[in-house]
Every structure is written in structure tokens, then in C-alpha cells.
Amino acid sequence: MNLRRALSATGLSALAAATILTGSPAAGGVVAKTAEVCAVPATTANAKVKPGSPLQHDPNEVTEAVAAQIERQTSKALALRAKYGAFDVGVQAVVTIPVAVHVIRKDTTRAGGNIPDSMIASQINVLNQSYGTATGGAETNFRFTLQSTTRTTNATWYTVTPGSSAETQMKNALRVGGPETLNFYIANIGQGLLGWATFPSSYNSRPKDDGVVVLTESLPSGTASPYNL
């Protein structure tokens, strides 16, 4: 998936969503009236709606006040890190983020969501290209590597929507690792959505909810044109 948008905060799930949902690393700020960003309740931090969706707008869009509060908190944290030497102006070490992919399928057919490994590999490649400036984004020290792939046949989870009991059940059953691991769920998500992600700030209170959920056919070579880049 390769759509240009902005996120209001950085972290593993939000960081990856900035590329999965936008095609470039996360922008450093928020444009309150125009950025299609994210999320109250805390279950989702970023959701993208396809044209023709029954939803009129992002179902988890934050208010201008919440967006401004997040921006202030982020700016304050960055200023403190810079002041106390957390940022080295020299060469930074590469941070490799392990990615746990969870393919949710209706059945074992390709039409039922059982995508080939090649599509998953292509999506990881898109992440690495984007965070390495290949698609025009800023250079970063973040790189992504596929750690594991699970395949689950569950017709209810296959059409998961944000904040639903299906999402809770799916993530409670499948999520692995700690905050350093990007859990990447792939399904034929409902409500005309392309995907959503959680805020990193919600990890402590809802660790099982952390992760990114994307539309199966929005991955590279999928059928959801023009998002399948």
C-alpha cells in the first residue's frame, strides 16, 4: 500500500503505518484540519477510508484539540531529548524492526485472502524503500525485517473493523513480542477501510491492541488499485 498522508506521532505501529498507509515516513507534525489522522477511542490511531465507503470520514479522527495536544507532547519530548544529548549529530545506528505478519483469510484460496509470501515480501520491501528515501521520503535509521508469518482461517476476523470484538479477539490470539515488534494484520477489512494503526502512547494501557491492520488487496500486486503499490 502506498498512499500519501501524515501521522501525528511516531512509534512502531504508527511509524509503519506512515508508509503502509502513505508511502513515506511519518511527517513530524499535524495539520489539524486536513490530515486524515487518527483516533479516539484508543483502539485505533490511524484509519484510511476508500472512495465509495459508507463512512463519510475517518471513523476515529481526533479533534483539533487532541491533535494539538499530541503535537505539543511530541515537540516537548523531542526538545528534551535534543537538550540532553539523546540525538547524536553523527551517524546513527540502524534500528531493525522485526515484523510479525498475520494473514487472516476466509479460506485457503487466493480469492479467500490466502495471499502468497511474495506479496508479504514486497510490502516489507516497500517499507524499507520508503524509510531509505527510495520513494522520496526522509532518510531514517529504521529498517524492517520479516520475523514470522501466521495464517489463520476465520471468516469473522476476515472482515474485521476497528474497535470491534473481532479485532479484540484476533489481536489477543495472535499478537506476539513486545513494543519493539511490529504486528501486521492483513485482512479483507470492512467499512471500506484501507487500514488503521494504534498510537504508540496507548501501548502501556492496551499492549495487545498494538499493531497495524491493512486491507489484503492493498498490498503490492493486490487488486485494490490504485492503492496496491
pLDDT in single tens digits along all 229 residues of the chain? 543 232 223 345 545 554 455 454 543 332 223 333 333 333 444 456 666 666 655 555 777 887 888 888 888 888 887 777 655 555 578 899 999 999 999 999 999 999 999 999 999 999 999 888 777 767 788 999 999 999 999 999 999 999 999 999 999 999 999 999 999 999 999 888 899 998 887 899 999 999 999 999 999 999 988 888 7
Can you give the pLDDT at residue 90?
58
Can you give the pLDDT at residue 37?
34
| Cell numbers placing 84 | 540532553
Can you give the pLDDT at residue 29?
30
**Residue ranges of the alpha helices (H) in the chain?**
12-20, 64-83, 117-131, 155-158, 165-174
How far is 139 from 122, CA to CA, in rounded Å? 20
CA angle 1, 97, 214 (to 5 degrees): 25
Can you give the pLDDT at residue 202?
84
